[in-house]
Amino acid sequence: MTAQPAKLDEVDFGEFLSDQVDKNLLEIVKTISLLECNATNYAAYLCKVFPDDEVMNSFLKTWGHEEFEHGTALGRWIELADASYNFQDAVTRFNAVFKCPEISDTKSIRQSPIGELLAQSIVETGTSTLYDAIAKSSQEPLLRNLCKIIADDEFRHYRLFCEQIERYGDRDKIGPVNRLKIAFERILEIRNDELGCAYHTANLYDRPYDPGLAIRAYEKRAFPLYHRQHIALGIDMTANACGFRDSRRWLKCLCPIVWLAITTRARYLEPIAD
pLDDT tens digits for range 2-58: 455 667 888 999 999 999 999 999 999 999 999 999 999 999 999 988 888 999 999
Q: Which of 6-20, 61-75, 111-125 has the highest mean pLDDT?
A: 61-75
Domain that holds residue 101: 19-222
Instruction: Tell me whether residue 272 is in a domain.
Output: no
Q: Which CATH number goes with the domain that contains 88?
A: 1.20.1260
Q: Residue 207's pLDDT is what? A: 93
Report d(CA 48, CA 240) in Å as an integer: 26
Q: Which of 113-117, 147-151, 190-194 has the highest mean pLDDT?
A: 147-151
Backbone dihedral region of 196: left (phi > 0), alpha (psi from -120 to 50 degrees) or beta? alpha
Q: What is the pTM of this model?
A: 0.92
- Asked if residue 1 has pLDDT above 50, the reply is no
pLDDT (mean) for 207-232: 95
- Asked if residue 226 has pLDDT above 90, the reply is yes
Which residues, other chains included, contact 81 with Cβ-Cβ below 8 Å and sequence gap of 6+? Answer: 16, 18, 21, 26, 29, 140, 143
What is the count of structural domains for the chain? 1
Instruction: Tell me whether residue 247 is in a domain.
Output: no
- Asked if residue 212 has pLDDT above 80, the reply is yes
Instruction: Tell me whether residue 262 is in a domain.
Output: no
Instruction: Tell me whether residue 257 is in a domain.
Output: no
Backbone dihedral region of 45: left (phi > 0), alpha (psi from -120 to 50 degrees) or beta? alpha
Instruction: Tell me whether residue 248 is in a domain.
Output: no
Cβ contact 272:216 at 8 Å:
yes
Instruction: Tell me whether residue 141 is in a domain.
Output: yes
pLDDT (mean) for 59-88: 97
Instruction: Tell me whether residue 241 is in a domain.
Output: no
Instruction: Tell me whether residue 6 is in a domain.
Output: no
Quick one: what percent of the chain has pLDDT higher than 90? 66
The lowest-confidence range among 75-84, 113-122, 139-148 is 113-122
